[in-house]
Each structure stands twice: as C-alpha cells, then as structure tokens.
Amino acid sequence: MYEVHSLSDEQLAGQRLMVGFRGKVLDDDLRFVIREMHVGGLILFKRNVSDPSQVAELCQSAKAYAVESGNPPLMIAIDQEGGSVARLGPPFTVFPGNRAIGAARSEKAAREFGTITARELKGVGITMNLAPVLDVAPQGLNSVMADRVFGEDPELVAYLGKAVIETLQNNGIPATAKHFPGIGLTTSDSHVDLSYLDVDSQLLDSTDLVPFRAAIESGVEAVMLSHVVYRDLDGQWPASLSTVIARDLLRKDMNFEGITMTDDLDMGAIDKHFDVETTVRRISDAEIDIALICHDRLKMEKAYRALLKAVRESEDARKKATASVRRIVNMKRKYLKVVTS
C-alpha cells in the first residue's frame, strides 16, 4: 500500500512518466526504466505484441517487477481506438472505428466497442485505454483526424464519446479523452512538425470543446493534450506545454480534476522545437500530470532527471509534483485496487 507522502523524490519524478519500450518480454532495458526511473506507466505498441498469451505474460511480469522494486503499481496503457489506430489486431476483436460508429449514429455500437474492448484489455492485463478521440472534423476539410473521429457534429461526437467513456470505465478500464482542446481543424500532422490554428476562441468553445465538456461531465479519468498552438488562446506554446490551456482552461474553467497528460513528446511538433528541460519545466508549470514519451530512451532519461531536479530544487515544483502523483495514485487505487493516497 502506498501513500504519496511516503514516496521518495525519485518516485515522485518517475511516477509522472509513461514510456514506451521495444521488447515483447520483461528484459533488462524494461527492468531499468521500472527500477531505476520508477516510471508510473508503460504504453504498448504493435512492436510489443505477438499474441494474447505473450501480452498477458509481459503485463503480469512488468507489474510484478514494479512492486518487487518497491514502486507503486504500473498503469499499462494502449491506443485501442478501433479503425486505423488499434495496436491489438486479431485474435482481438477488430472494430471499424469511430467514423463507422458516427456514420451509423449508433450508441449501441459505441457501447459494444467499449464493453468488448474493456474485457479484452483486462483479459491480458492492460489497465488503461488512450481513447476515445473526441476531435470534431468538419466536412470538406482535409483534417489530419478525418478517419479517426465520430464526425463533424460536436453534439454527436459528445454523445458517442460519452457512451464509449462510460462503458470502458464501468467495465474497469479508465478512458482518455483526446486531443484537447481539439485537433479536428488541423490539416498538418503533429508527428511531423508543430501545427498552428487561427481559430477564434468562441468558435472553439462552441464546437471543439463541446465533446470534452461532455467527457468531463461523464467522469472521464484522463485527458490528453495536443501538440497544436491555438493562437487565440496561447500564441507561444502548444496545448501540451501551455499553462493557459492545460491549467487555466481545462483545470480551472472546465473544472477537470482527473489526470492530464501530454501527447507523445517524441513527435516532431515537440522534438524539433523544444529541448527536454524546457518541455519538463512547461509541463510542471502547467500542472500536467503525465509526460508521455513513446520511443526515445535518451529523452526518457533526460526527462526523468529534469523532473527529479525540479522536485529537489523547487518547493513549488515539489508541491505540483505531489498533487500530480496524488491524482495518478488515486486512479491506480480506483482501478488497480492496490494503492492508497
């Protein structure tokens, strides 16, 4: 059992990292990030998956090793949206994705996706889904999210997203609403470079934010922030590094009390423009709970050291880190039923 005030500085830093890795088993590299970096979560990709029994063994051994190492239990996440973004293929159930659910305007299909996906994730030891996508993509726009959204109607996206969130979470898998405050109007890919949106904040409020309000009202456990600069909100920083968007808009104005996390910090939008120390400082200032780093091991280690340095050198950073880790541990307690805050 874990209480946040009993965690070491190293654990306060590491619990705010969710990281990817390359193997399909608990090898020395994975042991290192769990034991030495005290990471709070792992994210799985297709590179980590061969079949259900292998995934189950990987998840079980990684979670057991975290506890053996004296750390809080691991969250193990995956992007299992259905459609074009589904890291688990056959024999796991293959769903057509949000676009098909939206075209059918089918709450039944949304809930079926949530029910079956939750059961299959839990069955192999995966404990968090980085879904659903709540972006709104207008017709006639070459949106980067065109094939991953429920549609162009904010109310429909809110309705179907809420159904997915509630069903996943009622079946024991925390959901993640993404990509706040909405990237449906984006035509360039954040994987490649930083994107800018010149969208009036009032228009954003009446369209893109509608599904996220519904998600918050339905109790969504986590919100993922995009790597897009919304010039009318914060002309300098992408949402994932913005105090204006992550803290003031999402936390204060929209009253979100759950987990906030960045999109993958290995994406070109961040990697090409901001060094790790700046990124970590901005995440801390914006009171973002989890830094997601999916590929670059060196960046993971730099981020861990920067988080640890901040905790040790700044009382304000320590307070913010403690608040973030408390939210993380509370979610683990709720869904893993093995920790206290």
191 is catalytic: yes
Angle among Cα 212, 234, 79 to the nearest 5 degrees reads 40
Strand 80-82 with 85-86, pairing: antiparallel
| Measured CA distances, 43 to 23, 133, 256, 314 (Å) | 12, 17, 23, 29
DSSP state of 250: I
Alpha-carbon torsion 30, 31, 32, 36, what sign?
Answer: positive
Helix axes 276-285, 297-313, angle to 10 degrees: 50
Q: Of residues 189, 191, 285, 295, which has the active-site annotation? A: 191
Q: Of residues 153, 234, 263, 271, which has the active-site annotation? A: 263
What string of pLDDT tens digits covers the 341 residues of the chain? 578 888 999 999 999 999 999 999 999 999 999 999 999 999 999 999 999 999 999 999 999 999 999 999 999 999 999 999 999 999 999 999 999 999 999 999 999 999 999 999 999 999 999 999 999 998 878 888 889 999 999 999 999 999 999 999 999 999 999 999 999 988 887 888 889 999 899 999 999 999 999 999 999 999 999 999 999 999 999 999 999 999 999 999 999 999 999 999 999 999 999 999 999 999 999 999 999 999 999 999 999 999 999 999 999 999 999 999 999 999 999 998 643 33
Q: Count of CB atoms within 10 A of residue 83's CB?
A: 17
The Cα–Cα gap between 235 and 324 comes to: 26
Architecture per CATH, domain 16-295, reads as Alpha-Beta Barrel (3.20)
The Cα–Cα gap between 100 and 6 comes to: 47
263 is catalytic: yes
